[in-house]
Amino acid sequence: MTDKRLQYQKSIAAIYPELTVHAATLTTSGQNNDLLLVNDELIFRFPKYPQGIEALRRESAVLRGVQSQLPLATPHFIYQNLDKAEVGQVFAGYRKLSGESLRTETYARLDDDRTIDRLAADLASFLQALHALPPNIIDHPLAPSETQAGWSDIFARIQQVVYPHLTANARRWTTEQFVRFVENAEYFAFTPVLRHGDFGASNILYSAERQRVTGVVDFGHAGIGDPAVDFAGLCVCYGEPFLQRCTRAYPLIERCWERIRFYAGCAFLLEDALFCLENDTAEAGEVIAEINPRLA
């Protein structure tokens, strides 16, 4: 880890020699990017895999487009090296936003209805504003996501790559869920929106002092797709009762429950396993060990 940290520092220094680094802390737990916290005030994102380089370029364009358009703080890349094609040299950096991740366990400790309602309103209002933005504000090609053909392809890859690691019961259950979803054209009749794509606990910032959501980070999966993907992210982290509270500020959620439950209860977990196995990540074994008992 130390060697990687030094490598990242050298990559930054090669482009921004005027930036003096007094302290640097590396976090490697992210699925797609390593994070380097510099001087306790700057966060640099380094893609772990070659395909993450294009994702970071897309994220940079998305953040430029949504800047100052949303009711919560979002990252603003002030340091960038996106022209390279080599992992370890490509990065983007921004000033650390206030707040800490609204972890599931943090949310579980909240017992005041007014506070929970306030958080639901914060997040629902953010998503409503994001989904309402015209996609043409993003000066980067954005291919549609969550299409019927796209999910058919993902299911085929899951069968090829993930199924050999699953129990018979888990394979049977997964097949039932995906066939029911993929073969129903009604599930793909939604109006595509600009969606976050990874709207989970680690990317939602919260101030315990103010008891408010303060910002949203990691737009690496942002693109044009199904708004229910963002709703499902909240559902996974905080449960359906919380998402029901969000409907007061964003009524569209009420028309998306079947898709939300497919994403939250099946698709996200299998996509995670597919990513880990295709990229041979260290977490692959843990993910498979989690899937089999859950889908038995």
Rounded to two decimals, what is the model's pTM? 0.95
Question: Do residues 215 and 260 share a domain?
Answer: yes
Angle between helices 268-278 and 227-238 (to 10 degrees): 100
**Boundaries of domain holding 43:** 2-95
Last residue of a domain, one of 95, 123, 145: 95
Residue 174, CA distances (Å) to 267, 268, 271 in order: 9, 12, 12
Q: Is the pLDDT at 187 greater than 90, yes or no?
A: yes
SS3 of the chain: helix, strand, coil, percent, to 5: 55, 15, 30
Last residue of a domain, one of 95, 123, 139: 95
The number of distinct structural domains making up the chain is: 2
Residue 190, CA distances (Å) to 4, 229, 275 in order: 43, 12, 26
CATH number of residue 266's parent domain: 3.90.1200.10
Answer for the pair 296, 167: CB distance below 8 angstroms, yes or no.
yes
For 261, the token pair is 């439950």
CB count within 10 Å of CB 73 equals 16
Contacts of 49 (CB under 8 A, 6+ apart): 32, 87, 279
pLDDT in tens, 93-133: 999 999 999 999 999 999 999 999 999 999 999 999 999 99
Q: Is the pLDDT at 44 greater than 70, yes or no?
A: yes
Question: Do residues 90 and 104 share a domain?
Answer: no
Where do the DSSP E strands lie in 84-163? 91-95, 100-101
Q: Is the pLDDT at 182 greater than 70, yes or no?
A: yes
Q: Which residue has the tokens 């800490």?
A: 100
Q: Is the pLDDT at 210 greater than 60, yes or no?
A: yes
Dihedral of CA 271/273/277/279: which sign? positive
For 72, the token pair is 């919560």
Answer for the pair 120, 212: CB distance below 8 angstroms, yes or no.
no
Question: Do residues 83 and 176 share a domain?
Answer: no
Distance CA 254, CA 251 (A): 6
Residue 122, CA distances (Å) to 107, 115, 212, 231, 274 in order: 14, 11, 7, 13, 32
Question: Do residues 108 and 226 share a domain?
Answer: yes
Question: Do residues 89 and 109 share a domain?
Answer: no
Last residue of a domain, one of 55, 78, 95: 95
Backbone angles phi, psi at 3, to 5 degrees: -60, -40
pLDDT in tens, 142-165: 999 999 999 999 999 999 999 999
To the nearest 10°, the Cα dihedral for 246, 250, 256, 259? -60
Distance CA 79, CA 268 (A): 31
Reported as half-sphere exposure (CB side, CA atoms, 13 A), residue 157 has a value of 16
CATH number of residue 22's parent domain: 3.30.200.20
pLDDT in tens, 6-24: 999 999 999 999 999 999 9
Distance CA 142, CA 197 (A): 13
Q: Is the pLDDT at 30 greater than 90, yes or no?
A: no
